[in-house]
Amino acid sequence: MRTLMYVFLLLLCGGGALMADSGDKGVFPYPYSVSTLDNGLTIITIPTSSGGLMSYYSIVRTGARDEYEKGKTGFAHFFEHMMFRGTKNYPASMYDRMVTEMGADANAYTTDDYTAYHMSFAAEDLETVVMLESDRFQYLAYEEAAFQTEAGAVYGEYRKNRSNPWSVLFEDLMKTAFTRHTYGHTTIGFEADIKAMPGLYEYSKEFFSRYYRPENVVLVLTGDFDSEKALSLIESHYGSWKPGYQPPAIEAEPEQTAERSVQVDYDGKTLPLLVVAYKAPALDASNRTMVAGSMLDDLMFGETSAIYKKLVLQQQKVQFISAGFGFNRDPQLWSVYAMVKDAADIAYVREEIDRTVAQYRSTPVEEKHLTALKKRLKYSFLMNLDTPDKVAGGLARYVAITGGIEVVDALYAMYEQVTPSDIMAAVEQYLNPERRTIVTLQGRK
Amino acid sequence: MRTFRYTCITATLLGMIMAACSSPSANDAVLLPVKDDPTISFSLWFKVGSQCDPEGKEGLAAMTAAMLTRGGTVGKSYEDILDALYPLYAEYGSSCDKEMTVISGRVHRDNLEVYYPLLTDALLHPGFREEDFSRIKSESLNMLEKTLRYSSDEELGKAVFYNAVYDGTNYGHLNLGTVSSLNSITLDDIRAFYEKWYTRGNIVIGIAGGYDSELPARLRKDLEALPEGAPVLPEAPQPGDISGLRFTMVEKECNATAISFGFPIDVLRGDDDFWALALFNSWFGEHRNSSSHLYQVIREARGMNYGDYSYIEIFPNGGRRSMPAPNNARRQQLFEVWLRPVQHEYRHFALRAAVRELQMVIENGMTQEQFELTQQFLNKYALHYATTTSERLGYAIDAAFYGLDGDYTELFRSKIEALTLQQVNDAIHRHLQHENMQVGIVTMDAQSFADDLLRDAPSPVTYSTPKPDEVLEEDKAIAAYPLKVEDGNIRIVPVDKIFN
């Protein structure tokens, strides 16, 4: 086992609290260690003072992105459900009972890039948690009948989501923006594939065998625990886990060369929805233009932006406008969303988005505004680290994309270096009409 | 009639560092100092809520609170406020339920001196500007007319159910109001409501986190600028008796049926039977938890939907939250079962299955094994209810509402620990029943469902996947389970006619 220690000083806030400031050593405030077992399993331990509670995340670096085979969309999410169906050692009823006895808050979620299994519990139960989690990740076993029953629950989840117009819009957005890459489907998957899931029992075992391997999993432990003891437990319980990860054969998305647009009808009433989504780069904290681009959402479309003030506060033509320029493992989308009050104004709102982009392309952002954003980013990170679960959960996407958390400090350090010129360069590089997909959704009634 | 006292809370933060309560007064402040927490949380509780909405002006309390926190002040436009808050990553907002309005916010202590004047200015010198008013009103109307009616059948089903339970009382309307009442509210109404209810005698201040010991006195002094007065709250609602199963069905095109049912209960947080019912409820339907018995019966064994839960207190935003949100304390509560959407062909069966399970536990009680496992579960699970400082402050405010001393989580755990199976089963007998309930439904072809219910028609189900024999055997009993719905007890409402 290899272990690297990262120890930062706790300067600003005196240390001891669950939140602190790392001073000039980086934004991430806690000492942590990264260990790798011989089989490739990575463990990140972040001890924090948290009143006897701790959080245990098992991050599988497989998500909807890895569903590259036809007819298998939504499978990563479905499989997440199956991970609660027990093993020979601990059948589902016994697993449930043991989790219940611990009073643990246990759940899981699936995203485009990863699947996270998380549990918050009293630190005294760590050994039981390591035992249970290592067991199901190595020896998952379920009957075909249970598999088929769970498919019904997943279809129920799909139906639940379907009454929300945003779910409908996202499905069409991804389908239109991506012609080859697996980002072309949403995490829940296409309805036809969900309906066909009960027949994929054998495939589910193949899926487990391909992706649920130690080299593809990172454990993140936060809260009140002793790192050395935890690592020793983990090594003894996960050490025999056999490697064998098979990377998915994901097609690269060809460069988009022309604007795409689609109009969606929604079977219900809603204010019209508009999304303008640009092809985005994958996360690369060493690339200043990429990092500058990720700041554009708040800068150009946040609550203090000119377009927000004009459309939301002054003219009141939209219920809201916002943008999400997030991070992904492969190039995905940076999207601007608006809920427009009157369908007659959809074109106007689009023009205003274009005007905003044009202005940022031609005019440097005010230094004052950029400085305020940098300060905001720092405090948003620090203020969201107030429980063990939030610490681990907040790191999950970074872990999934890069395999570690060093990227956090690199990213925040790069934010500090971004200049108004970098902002202009990012707009120039990424926010071009030929790179975008525009979707409008309107209710039918 | 209940007497409510507001007490100073000293919390233990799960055994962590907690200083003694340093309130300048014992009855107008809830203080949770956490020395090493670099953030400061504020919760300013005004004893006013949607129960205080004048007739025809439903939604006024919520809109007034929104005008304070999402509008400008006398000296600053809302744009100016957003600009000032932006670099701090801080904000303040409001929540308005039946009995409580809480203005809350959180800031890193580095930024307190920028933040604090903005927060107090919002409370003391609201601008009540026309442009903010038209924006907030438009958003509220859209929320009612579009989002609630057409974008979340689960929330719609619950809203219909709540309104039916409290019909005829001042809990009997959405906090948001109705379409006509929102349209009738004027800026003058909001000014008058603010002047009546946002008074010095009607506020309890809550502060938590790493604040300076002088902050409570400073805030208290600054809030003395509020007008004097302590308005009298309306009497607690007395919901009418429910006779039989009474349905409100919302007819709309949808791909699944949402179901909520239940009835009012006369048990509040702190009552002796509350703890017993809390243990029962955790076993029967712990929110978003696979340990829930209903979840096991309907989702786990039969795969009919995404989850099935029950409640003995109001639980807003259940679709988004996994733990109960604070600051919805009430003088009247309800027992509720929530079945997440099921395919239409399962709607009758799923309803029967849930009511049957309720009847069985009322008649048979919990077993010793179920009791002990749930007791053990809650002892630790309760630690997750409030894990952040601001959540703990919210719970402490609620504890003050109910007149409870000490840290609520610790109190909850000690009460659960002290329970016996007999106490739990006695409480189930005293407070729960299955024959007289309101049922809120969102479905398609409601008339057909109504006809089936009135005939008590058998509702056998088939599955696309194999099921164990014991499940299929039990299905026969569920499919024939009599709900005994009487003529006249089903009301069908087209979706565009509700909340008008």
What are A418-442's pLDDT values in tens digits? 999 999 999 999 999 999 999 999 9
Which residue type sits at A327? F
User: H-type helices in A252-366, by residue range?
Assistant: 288-294, 296-301, 306-308, 346-362
Q: How far apart are CA B70 and CA B64, in angstroms?
A: 10
Q: How far apart are CA B102 and CA B41, in angstroms?
A: 12
Q: Which tokens belong to A409?
A: 């400090």
CB atoms within 10 A of CB A219: 27
The pTM of this model reads 0.87
Interface test with A, best of B387, B444, B470, B475 (most A CBs within 10 A): B387
Output phi, psi for B399, to 5 deg: -60, -40
Could you tell me how far CA A318 lies from the centroid of its own chain?
27
> Minimal Cα distance from A84: which residue of B?
B290
Asked if residue B11 is part of any domain, the answer here is: no
B288 touches chain A (CB under 8 A): yes
Instruction: Give the pLDDT mean for A315-330.
Output: 95
Closest CA to B279 of B353, B381, B170: B381
> Minimal Cα distance from B343: which residue of A?
A156
pLDDT of residue B21: 34
Q: How far apart are CA B403 and CA B270, in angstroms?
A: 8
Under an 8 A CB cutoff, do B150 and A379 touch? no
CB atoms within 10 A of CB A180: 12
pLDDT tops 60 at residue A358: yes
% of residues, chain B, pLDDT over 70: 95
CA distances from A410 to A218, A414, B295 (A): 20, 6, 44
CB atoms within 10 A of CB A151: 25
Closest CA to B45 of B397, B490, B483, B289: B397
Whole-number CA gyration radius for chain A:
23
Within a 13 Å sphere around the CA of A404, how many CA atoms are in the beta-carbon half? 16
Under an 8 A CB cutoff, do B146 and A163 touch? no
Which residue type sits at B352? R
Question: Which B residues in the span 298-357 are in contact with A, Cβ-Cβ below 8 Å?
Answer: 299-306, 322-323, 340-343
pLDDT of residue B150: 81
Task: Please report residues of A whose CB lies closer than 8 A to that of B295.
Answer: none
Q: How far apart are CA B44 and CA B206, in angstroms?
A: 6
Q: What is the DSSP string of A209-235?
A: HHHSSGGGEEEEEEES--HHHHHHHHH
Q: Which tokens belong to B274?
A: 């509350």
Long-range interactions of A414-417: CB distance < 8 A, separation 24+ = A414/A285, A414/A286, A414/A288, A414/A291, A415/A291, A415/A295, A415/A374, A415/A377, A415/A378, A416/A374, A417/A288
pLDDT of residue B379: 92
% of residues, chain A, pLDDT over 70: 94
Q: Least CB-CB distance to A372: which of B87, B374, B379? A: B87
Task: Please report residues of B whose CB lies closer than 8 A to that of A162.
Answer: 255
- Identify the weakest region by mean pLDDT among A10-14, A76-80, B60-64, B262-266: A10-14
Task: Please report residues of A whose CB lies closer than 8 A to that of B142.
Answer: 271, 319, 341
3-class secondary structure, A192 = helix
Q: Are residues B186 and B252 in the same domain?
A: no
- pLDDT bucket at B27, cuts 50 / 70 / 90: low
Contacting residues for B464 by C-beta, under 8 A, at least 6 apart: A148, A152, A198
Which residue type sits at A297? D
Q: Are residues B383 and B411 in the same domain?
A: yes
Parallel, antiparallel or unpaired: strands B490-494 and B91-96: unpaired
pLDDT of residue A7: 43
Under an 8 A CB cutoff, do A145 and B468 touch? yes
Third-level CATH fold of A2-238: Cytochrome Bc1 Complex; Chain A, domain 1 (3.30.830)
Q: What is the DSSP letter of B26?
A: S
Under an 8 A CB cutoff, do B86 and A376 touch? yes
Q: Which tokens belong to A223?
A: 């809260």
A15 touches chain B (CB under 8 A): yes
Instruction: Give the pLDDT mean for A390-419.
Output: 96
Asked if residue B446 is part of any domain, the answer here is: yes
pLDDT of residue A93: 87
Token look-up 């309930």 returns: B437
Task: Please report residues of B whose CB lies closer than 8 A to that of A309.
Answer: 79
Q: Which tokens belong to A340?
A: 């427009």
- Identify the weakest region by mean pLDDT among A269-273, A363-367, B427-431, B442-446: A269-273
Q: How far apart are CA A317 and CA A310, in angstroms?
A: 9
A286 touches chain B (CB under 8 A): no
Task: Please report residues of B whose CB lies closer than 8 A to that of A122.
Answer: 380, 383
Q: Are residues B257 and B203 in the same domain?
A: no
Asked if residue B77 is part of any domain, the answer here is: yes
Note the ipTM here.
0.83
Contacting residues for B218 by C-beta, under 8 A, at least 6 apart: none
The CATH code of the domain at A260-443 is 3.30.830.10
Could you tell me how far CA A224 lies from the centroid of its own chain?
25
- The two domains A2-238 and A260-443 share their CATH topology (first three levels equal): yes
- pLDDT bucket at B213, cuts 50 / 70 / 90: very high
Task: Please report residues of A whose CB lies closer than 8 A to that of B465.
Answer: 145, 148-149, 151-152, 198
The answer to whether residues B196 and B190 touch, using CB atoms and an 8 Å cutoff, is: no
Task: Please report residues of B whose CB lies closer than 8 A to that of A222.
Answer: none
Q: Are residues B251 and B184 in the same domain?
A: no
> Minimal Cα distance from B40: which residue of A?
A383
Number of domains in chain B: 2
The answer to whether residues B24 and B216 touch, using CB atoms and an 8 Å cutoff, is: yes
pLDDT of residue B306: 87
Instruction: Give the pLDDT mean for A199-210.
Output: 94
Task: Please report residues of A whose CB lies closer than 8 A to that of B147.
Answer: 270
Q: How far apart are CA B141 and CA B145, in angstroms?
A: 6
What are A153-193's pLDDT values in tens digits? 788 788 877 778 999 999 999 999 999 999 999 999 999 99
CA distances from A283 to A254, A329, A345 (A): 18, 6, 34
Interface test with A, best of B138, B150, B376, B495 (most A CBs within 10 A): B150
Task: Please report residues of B whose CB lies closer than 8 A to that of A82.
Answer: none
Q: Are residues B111 and B172 in the same domain?
A: yes
The answer to whether residues A35 and A42 touch, using CB atoms and an 8 Å cutoff, is: yes
Under an 8 A CB cutoff, do A103 and B377 touch? yes
Question: Which A residues in the span 315-334 are in contact with B, Cβ-Cβ below 8 Å?
Answer: 316, 319
Q: Are residues B126 and B269 in the same domain?
A: no
pLDDT tops 50 at residue B430: yes
Under an 8 A CB cutoff, do A304 and B131 touch? no
Structural domain including B118 reads 29-225
Q: Least CB-CB distance to B86: which of A107, A152, A303? A: A303
Q: How far apart are CA A217 and CA A56, in angstroms?
A: 13
> Minimal Cα distance from A119: which residue of B?
B384
pLDDT tops 60 at residue A151: yes
Instruction: Give the pLDDT mean for B203-217.
Output: 96
Distance (Å) from the C-alpha of residue A390 to the closest C-alpha of chain B? 10
Q: Are residues B359 and B305 in the same domain?
A: yes
Q: How far apart are CA A55 and CA A105, in angstroms?
A: 9
> Minimal Cα distance from B382: which residue of A?
A103
Instruction: Give the pLDDT mean for A243-269.
Output: 94
Contacting residues for B164 by C-beta, under 8 A, at least 6 apart: B246, B248, B438, B440
Q: Are residues B36 and B182 in the same domain?
A: yes
The answer to whether residues B144 and B464 touch, using CB atoms and an 8 Å cutoff, is: no
Beta strands in A311-416 (DSSP E): 318-324, 333-340
pLDDT, mean over chain A: 91
Q: Least CB-CB distance to A122: which of B111, B373, B383? A: B383
A343 touches chain B (CB under 8 A): no
pLDDT tops 50 at residue B239: yes
A387 touches chain B (CB under 8 A): yes
Distance (Å) from the C-alpha of residue A384 to the closest C-alpha of chain B? 10
Sheet holding A105-110, edge to edge: A2-6, A32-36, A42-47, A217-223, A53-60, A115-122, A105-110
Q: Estimate the crossing angle of helix A346-362 against helix A420-430, to 10 degrees.
A: 130
Asked if residue B460 is part of any domain, the answer here is: yes
Task: Please report residues of A whose CB lies closer than 8 A to that of B288.
Answer: 107
User: H-type helices in B12-129, by residue range?
Assistant: 60-69, 78-85, 112-124
Asked if residue B8 is part of any domain, the answer here is: no
Task: Please report residues of A whose CB lies closer than 8 A to that of B255.
Answer: 159, 162-163
pLDDT of residue B222: 96
Under an 8 A CB cutoff, do A159 and B78 touch? no
pLDDT tops 60 at residue A5: no
A303 touches chain B (CB under 8 A): yes
- Identify the weakest region by mean pLDDT among A13-17, A243-247, A393-397, B213-217: A13-17
Closest CA to B372 of B446, B283, B445, B439: B283
Asked if residue B302 is part of any domain, the answer here is: yes
CATH number for the domain that contains residue B342 = 3.30.830.10
Task: Please report residues of B whose CB lies closer than 8 A to that of A52.
Answer: 14-15, 383
pLDDT, mean over chain B: 92
Q: What is the DSSP letter of B223?
A: G
Parallel, antiparallel or unpaired: strands B39-46 and B203-209: antiparallel
Parse chain A into domains and list their residue ranges: 2-238, 260-443
- Identify the weakest region by mean pLDDT among A55-64, A166-175, B150-159: B150-159
Interface test with B, best of A56, A160, A314, A322 (most B CBs within 10 A): A160
Contacting residues for A420 by C-beta, under 8 A, at least 6 apart: A364, A365, A366, A367, A370
Asked if residue B9 is part of any domain, the answer here is: no
Largest CA distance in chain B: 72
Question: Which B residues in the span 69-128 are in contact with A, Cβ-Cβ below 8 Å?
Answer: 78-79, 82-83, 86-90, 106, 108, 110-111
3-class secondary structure, B52 = helix
Q: Are residues B142 and B257 in the same domain?
A: no
pLDDT tops 50 at residue B7: no
Q: Are residues B448 and B305 in the same domain?
A: yes
User: H-type helices in B387-492, by residue range?
Assistant: 389-401, 408-418, 421-431, 446-455, 469-479
Q: Are residues B207 and B305 in the same domain?
A: no
Asked if residue B4 is part of any domain, the answer here is: no
A121 touches chain B (CB under 8 A): yes
Considering only residues B151 and A11, tell me which one the structure prediction assigns the higher pLDDT.
B151
A373 touches chain B (CB under 8 A): yes
pLDDT of residue B425: 98
Q: Are residues B250 and B201 in the same domain?
A: no
